[in-house]
Amino acid sequence: MSTDPLHVVCPHCHTTNRVAAAALAQAPDCGKCHRPLFDGHPVALDDATFDPHINRSHLPVLVDFWAPWCGPCRMMAPHFEAAARELEPHLRLAKVDTEAARQTAARFAIRSIPTLALFVGGREVARQPGAMGSADIVRWVRQKI
């Protein structure tokens, strides 16, 4: 593993933090707001906060594009939460409400929900439409990275 620090964006104040790769598992806190960088929950992103998390983070980011009125999205939500607990701190999980973040949803041509999109190094590398259970989410991500 590299000794270079990783950039990790805080899920609370959206500040980019430098964290040694070896320190990821030691529950690092944000240098600005002093809250945990990882709390086992997906971070809610909107049009303003999406790009910093995707483009500034050295960690892969798995995004769940969803909507509040979508039944399959609501059914998948606890499974996505469980996947966050299993995959953090080596991966950031995020949720984008396509009703509230219309620009981001349009930019990525989200046509069906839920849709999972995996970003690595600021680029989308994989996409999976449809609801999935937590084990399937974890397995799919691990196959893609």
Query: Residue 13 catalytic?
Result: no
How confident is the model over 50-107, as pLDDT tens digits?
999 999 999 999 999 999 999 999 999 999 999 999 999 999 999 999 999 999 999 9
Catalytic residue among 10, 13, 33, 70: 70
For residues 24 and 4, what is the distance between their CA atoms, to the nearest angstrom?
13
Q: Could you tell me if residue 20 is inside a domain?
A: no
Parent domain of 76: 39-144
CB 62 within 8 A of CB 94: yes
Q: Could you tell me if residue 67 is inside a domain?
A: yes
Q: Could you tell me if residue 81 is inside a domain?
A: yes
CATH number for the domain harbouring residue 46: 3.40.30.10
Query: Residue 70 catalytic?
Result: yes
Give yes or no for residue 1 having a pLDDT over 60. no
Q: Could you tell me if residue 49 is inside a domain?
A: yes
Count of domains for the chain: 1
Q: Could you tell me if residue 131 is inside a domain?
A: yes
Q: Could you tell me if residue 31 is inside a domain?
A: no
pTM as predicted: 0.94
